[in-house]
Amino acid sequence: MTTPSTTKSLLQKGSGLQVVVGLGQSGLSVANYLTQQGYRVAVTDSQVTPLLADKLPAEVEIRQFGGIDPALLLHASRIIISPGISLETEAIAAAKQANIPVVSDIQLFCEACSVPIVAITVSNAKSTVTTLVGQMAADAGVDVGVGGNIGVPALNLLANKTMQLAVLELSSFQLETVTNLGAQVATVLNMSPDHLDRHGDMLGYHQAKHRIFQGAKSVVINREDALTRPLVADNLPRLSTSIQAPDKGQYGLITDSNGETHIARGTERLLSADKLIIKGRHNLLNAQSALALGELAGLPLESMLVTLQHFSGLDHRCQYVATVHDIDYFNDSKGTNIGSTMAAIEGLGAVYAPKDGKLLLILGGQGKGQQFGGLVPFIDQYVSHVICIGEDGHQIEQHLRAASISNEVVIHQSETLEAAFVTVQQVTSSSLSQIQAVLLSPACASFDQFSGYAERGERFNQLVAQIEGTTI
């Protein structure tokens, strides 16, 4: 750690200091990038010993850990803030008041990137669509970089000097400091309440998300969600998606008289839903979104359709786990907000409803201040049993009952996921049960009992395997 006296002497060497606030993966990528560009770089983090501190390049002379020093930030020519740090943090707010620019790693990436960008944000399913578009590009022979909020920091993509296309998943946290992204194609796939503890209300959340459209050359719109419609010029190229029949020249679904559903563009049937590995109506919308984004990015349709038929989805995102005793189990642990869970219930519920089947839904964890009553219409239609778990399990039940959940829906309380599976076996073993699928879609963060959604999802998979008597 650099001492205050050493820091003071270094600051006196000249101007142009770039201060990186937050030493996670994105912060490390920023420090590496800026030092490679010849900038003087300081790094600060609230942790006393950040896990990645020993990976910082030697050129980073100023390292202040154990707190974010307002004085250091006021010496900056520019502050690059990590997504997890709020702009309302006292030291950051003071720097902004002093007219010091505060940006994200995404802003740096956009300024340096010379290839077209596909920019994707959404409350739910952005990782699925981002991964799918990236795979479509790769299968079409395009040298593509996929990153952002999906594991690989965006700046790391610049190391590939032959990259032809960048596909970025972007969070509201990353977007709130971005100006003029300039994407080849940009989209907000859907909007539902999330991160309101950070953005204050839906207006703040909406404004952050819609920064993705600044400078966009084309856009993709979800016709099912008015909040995805951008305020852009009418003549800007655009495509739209829907679970309904397509508008002229747009994407949608066509159902034949025999009940077979097709992804379509205008009147042209492109692909039968039965040929997709990924299931659920929400995934049909994801597939359309990927096709629309790929089309506006210049990818060939035939190749994209082949990719779609081989795409098996992502772990913990409405992931099919197994069928045990004629019950299908789905792991949607990544469903950490009510919008994601709504999509999962509706998407899977519509698959089982024609067979008079119902879902058993596992909800719960840390609720992040959400109002769970919005789930009630979806639960009433597709769910017969709800198991509430975790820290906010009882609060979730209160919200559901306050929203007049149907008396036909049985609500159970189980403190843990393990306890929930005891209830699952009791309920599904009844000869009167209509349950054809068990869905873990918690609509909550997992940190009350797990290190993250992945650990929660893996535990779900293990519990399914125990019922099945095999190892998954």
Contact 217/184 with Cβ under 8 angstroms?
yes
CA distance 145 to 132: 12
69-105 exposure pattern, b = at least 16 Cβ within 10 A, e = fewer: beebbebbebbbbbbebeeebebbeebeeeebebbbb
CA distance 331 to 335: 9
Residue 447 Rama label (left phi>0; alpha psi -120 to 50; beta) = alpha
10 Å CB burial of residue 28 (0-12, 13-18, 19+) is: buried
Q: Is 149 a catalytic residue?
A: yes
Catalytic residue among 75, 195, 334, 399: 195
10 Å CB burial of residue 390 (0-12, 13-18, 19+) is: buried
CA distance 323 to 368: 32
CA distance 245 to 423: 40
CA distance 73 to 76: 5
Give the CA diameter of the chain.
78
Q: Is 248 a catalytic residue?
A: no
Alpha-carbon dihedral 78, 21, 103, 26, rounded to 10 degrees: 130
Helix (H) or strand (E) holding 121: strand 117-121
DSSP 245: P
CA distance 312 to 138: 16
Catalytic residue among 32, 124, 149, 222: 149
Catalytic residue among 126, 358, 368, 385: 126
Residue 379: half-sphere exposure toward Cβ, Cα within 13 Å: 32
Q: Is 358 a catalytic residue?
A: no
Active-site residues, by number, are 126, 149, 195
